[in-house]
DNA sequence: ACTCCAATTGAAAGTGGAAGTCATAATACG
DNA sequence: CGTATTATGACTTCCACTTTCAATTGGAGT
């Protein structure tokens, strides 16, 4: 998986005539090694710990690149920060966001997707993407 | 409906020991008279047309009050602006957001809601609220 | 009606995160 | 190697709020 991502990004870099740099490698490592759904700030701080000379702007730009390359996906939950999650090829998932501890679980439900498509269809609406988030209290926090 | 909202807000004001001011009345009128899903800026400009002396901060604070009073609901679509929609008592709807013209349609689907509840349940997750948005091209823009 | 005080207002300053600038440094490749 | 590009990082700007603060205003109790 990690190998695959690395490969995809390398190809993307090559295809676009961009350059391979150690910063990009470091940021990619940090991103792939992390839990999903990090904000720019979080990844920046994490990387900064071992590589104090990497700037915020570089992390910011590189994350955008990842999104363009298709290995990351931008997400906005309610906290005013843009978060990035790993984007496995084409897969999509929705989220369960805990309002207590902030944890984010993922789920998929084919039936819901179908119903969404029906709703859209019945209105002549063409879906490009969707977003479904359930906010509440997760299992651990309820104990 | 408008009457009801006005009443609810008046009660809220009273219950909290807040004051009734002409600015709040004007802003409430503007809000209720508007299309749904306005941003702070939009409502501010609209009101400003007839009441040039009302400040942005007042509109901002009043909208927050509306949300607390339960007559408005804060929403975030992808455009970086907080929007407020009328919040009829308890009712909830999901959205179809056109990425071309920015129009926002609403819909409800009981089956989808049930499925969401099932997913949450199966994980011991307690839903407080949810958000479902379908982004794409609306009927008019497809013609 | 008048007072007094807490609530409110509007202008302006402050925030935080995202996006843009630009001089310097690195990389790819002939 | 040498050079044309691209990338980097410190810093600035932008933007959408959010807070501050001095002046004003409701409204409960005279």
Bridge partners, B125 (sequence order): none
Strand C within 7 A of A21 CB:
yes
Quick check: A132 and B128 CB within 8 A? Answer: no
B96 in Cβ contact with B107 (< 8 Å) = yes
> Locate tokens 């929609």: which residue?
B85
Q: What is the mean pLDDT of each run of 10 residues along chain A (143 residues)?
A: 87 94 96 90 94 95 96 88 84 87 89 96 95 94 89
pLDDT, averaged across chain B: 93
Q: Which two tokens stand for residue B112?
A: 């989808």
Between CA A30 and C1' D1 the distance (Å) reads 35
Sequence-distant (6+) residues with CB within 8 A of B89 are B70
Find the CB nearest B128 among A120, A126, A135.
Answer: A135
Tens digit of each residue's pLDDT (9 = 90 or more) over B90-116: 678 899 999 888 889 999 999 999 999
Chain A contacts to B (CB-CB under 8 A):
76, 78, 96, 98-99, 105, 107, 109, 111-112, 115-116, 119-120, 123-139, 142
Encoded tokens for B18: 């807040």
Nearest residue to B95 (alpha-carbon basis) of B133, B124, B135, B58: B133
| Count of alpha carbons within 13 angstroms of residue A58, beta-carbon side | 17
Query: Mind spelling out the 3-state secondary structure of chain B?
Result: CHHHHHHHHHHHHHHCCCCCCHHHHHHHHHHHHCCCCEEHHHHHHHHHHHCCCCCHHHHHHHHHHHHHHCCEEEEECCCCCEEEEECCCCCCCEEEEECCCCCEEEECCHHHHHHHHHHHHCCCCEEEEEEEEEEEECHHHHC
Residues contacting A6, CB < 8 A, separation 6+:
A28, A32
Instruction: Give tens-digit pLDDT for B124-141.
Output: 999 999 999 999 999 999
Least Cα distance to B27 among B52, B53, B81, B63 occurs for B63
Asked if residues B64 and B109 have their Cβ atoms less than 8 Å apart, the reply is: no
A116 neighbors A92 (Cβ within 8 angstroms) = no
Domains present along chain A, CATH in parentheses = 2-86 (1.10.10.10), 94-142 (3.30.1490.190)
Distances (CA, A) of B80 to A8, A76, A118, A133, B107: 30, 10, 28, 18, 22
A94 touches strand C (CB under 7 A): no
List residue ranges whose Cβ is under 7 angstroms from nucleic strand D. Answer: A 13, 17-19, 21, 23-24, 53-58, 61-62, 80; B 19-22, 39-41, 56-57, 60-61, 64, 80-82
At B105, give phi and psi (nearest 5°). -100, 160
Q: How far is A116 from chain B (nearest CA, A)?
A: 8
Q: Which residues of B touch A142 (CB under 8 A)?
A: 124, 126
Give the span between the Cα atoms of B141 and B53, in whole angstroms.
Answer: 38
Nucleotides of D under 7 A from a protein CB: 6-11, 15-20, 25-27
Q: How far is CA B2 from the centre of its chain?
A: 14
A121 touches strand C (CB under 7 A): no
pLDDT band at B30 (very low <50, low <70, confident <90, very high): very high
Average the pLDDT over each of A17-26, A81-90, B35-44, B60-69 and give the range with the smallest value.
A81-90
pLDDT over 90, % of chain B: 82
Query: Mean per-residue pLDDT for B10-17?
Result: 95
């Amino acid at each position: 998986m990690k190998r695959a991502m690395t490969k995809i990004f390398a190809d993307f870099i090559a295809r676009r005539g961009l350059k391979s740099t150690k910063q990009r490698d470091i940021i990619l490592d940090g991103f792939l090694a992390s839990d999903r759904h990090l904000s720019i700030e979080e990844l920046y701080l994490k990387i900064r710990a071992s590589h104090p000379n990497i700037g915020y702007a570089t992390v910011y730009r590189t994350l955008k690149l990842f999104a363009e390359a298709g290995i990351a996906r931008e997400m906005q939950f309610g906290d005013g920060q843009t978060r990035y999650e790993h984007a496995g090829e084409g897969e999509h998932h929705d989220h369960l966001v805990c309002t207590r501890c902030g944890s984010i679980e993922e789920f998929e439900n084919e039936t819901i997707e179908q119903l969404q498509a029906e709703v859209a269809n019945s209105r002549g609406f063409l879906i490009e993407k969707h977003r479904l988030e359930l906010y509440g209290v997760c299992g651990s926090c309820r104990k």
